[in-house]
Amino acid sequence: MDYFMGIDAGTSGVKVIVIDEEGTVAGRGYCECHVYTPYPGWAEQDPKDWWQALHRAAVMAVKDSGHGAQIAAISFSGQMQGCTLLNREGEAEGNCLIWLDQRAAQEARELNGRIEEKEALEITGSRCLPSYWAAKLLWLRKNQPERYRQIDKVVFAKDYLRYRMTGELATDVSDASLTFLLDLKKRYWSKRMLQAAEIPESFMPERVQESQEIAGYLKPEVAAAWGLCAGIPVMAGGGDQPVGGIGCGAVKTGVIGATIGTSGVVFGCCDTPFADTRSRAILSTCHSVPGKYDFLGCTLSAGGSFKWLRDRFFAEEKERLARQGQDVYDQMCEWAAKIPAGSEGLTFLPYLNGESTPHVDENARGVFFGLNLRHGREALCRSVMEGVTFSLRDTIEIFRENGVEVGEVRAMGGGAKSALWRQIQADVYQARVVTMNMEEGPAAGAAILACVGAGCYASLTEACSHILRPQTVTEPIPENAKLYEGFYQTYRRLYPALKELFAGQAALVAKNL
């Protein structure tokens, strides 16, 4: 039997799984990565850290599987929108400006003013955001001209790793969609957008592939280090959200997925590019399924907010439990379960590094609203879980406004592992929440891409129907849903009330740093 490797190059770390043709997970590996925040609103990662993390995770997964010699193909999922610069020697030029980085907000506004909104939406499916390549490259040209002059190519996280694995440069249509430089309908770079942004076409990878296509073959030295056979095909792969869509079966219209990873994303599949008529950062991309498209909204600090709470408040507890072979996240969920729905009025805004959907505000920041003398660590944990879920409900409401029926949501990421968080999602969304038998989400989608690319299945639709099955089903609790509706309306009123204060506070911070 053949086996297949799926790599998820995420923000928090790199996950690797090995599956067989039936989708049974035979091996797993994971290694964390660090995010650098050298200035408020900035977020960077070192590509060399990704490579080291991938090496450790791959060796771990292959050893765990015991089937290294039978792995027939590899594919990718990767964090989207990151701007990794390669020089003429093919080496990374400094840190990657990852998707969370908001420094190019002014440049995004400038680019949105250079081209009529109707034309931009027709070509790219979205308005320019600070996280897109076009805005970041303009920022670099203005603020770091020497570094800008060293650029030979710009790539995404997974493309950098694949380049290290195969020596071949390429990208895929799903990742390339969130650059403000791709023509979604042609599924290739737009000369019009490149000209508007004044970005040389030579910066762009020439090969823009469908996610299941072969992009290169594994180098002998990498194969030897990981315990694999040299020359096995490595697929183009895709962005973590479209590939996560494959991992939960969102490969046809009507299926909605929600991921709570470092970021939080609500995702749907469609047959033609989707464009929201209002400026609320609903993103439209080419799906990793050939010929399909998708639409999504993004909360920048979703699981990242829970991780922030863990690292800043429960670091000692994390170390103590780790020595006992336990996970502090499980403890945090147990604490949260002791507090009733609504956290006795404590509401959390998860805007720790600005926000994308629906506010598009680089100045927004995190807030605990409604603290009282009764609130302790239990309420803090639950309110963060609820606030993140409220932020995802914002995207779901936009979908509903645009005629998308959301009666069932397929949950992925860390938020899908917790029974409590699944229940909070069901109650807040007022929709059934389902998890699938492959809990790895994007990594699972990547492994399925490898299966299809290697010819094990005729299509992604066939592969998903054969491999994926519902694992858990969580129905809304009516009284909780009614309670959350009131708290959600409070949540929605907080950002408009604080918007000007966020901007003023950001100006004070900038003046004094």
Would you name the residues annotated as active-site residues?
240
In Å, how far from its chain's centre is CA 178? Answer: 12
Neighbouring residues of 317: CB distance < 8 A, sequence distance ≥ 6? 328, 331
* 160 contacts 92 by C-beta, under 8 angstroms: yes
Residue by residue, DSSP assigns 127-179 as: ---TTSHHHHHHHHHHH-HHHHHT-SEEE-HHHHHHHHHHS---EEHHHHGGG
The Cα–Cα gap between 97 and 133 comes to 9
Q: What's the Cα-to-Cα distance from 64 to each of 42, 227, 347, 427, rounded to whole Å?
A: 37, 11, 42, 38
The Cα–Cα gap between 214 and 235 comes to 4
| Structure-token pair, residue 434 | 């389902």
Residue by residue, DSSP assigns 458-496 as: S-HHHHHHHH--EEEEE---HHHHHHHHHHHHHHHHHHH
Of 247, 210, 215, 216, the closest CA to residue 230 belongs to 216
The Cα–Cα gap between 300 and 101 comes to 10
The Cα–Cα gap between 383 and 493 comes to 17
Neighbouring residues of 341: CB distance < 8 A, sequence distance ≥ 6? 386, 424, 427, 480, 483, 484
- The radius of gyration computed from the CA coordinates of the chain, to the nearest angstrom, equals 22
Q: What's the Cα-to-Cα distance from 429 to each of 214, 343, 405, 476, 504, rounded to whole Å?
A: 39, 17, 12, 8, 33
3-class SS at 77? strand
* 8 contacts 78 by C-beta, under 8 angstroms: yes
* 479 contacts 423 by C-beta, under 8 angstroms: no
Element housing 336 (H / E) = helix 328-337
Alpha helices in 338-401 (DSSP H): 377-401
3-state SS record for 9-50:
ECCCEEEEEEEECCCCEEEEEEEECCCECCCCCCCEECHHHH
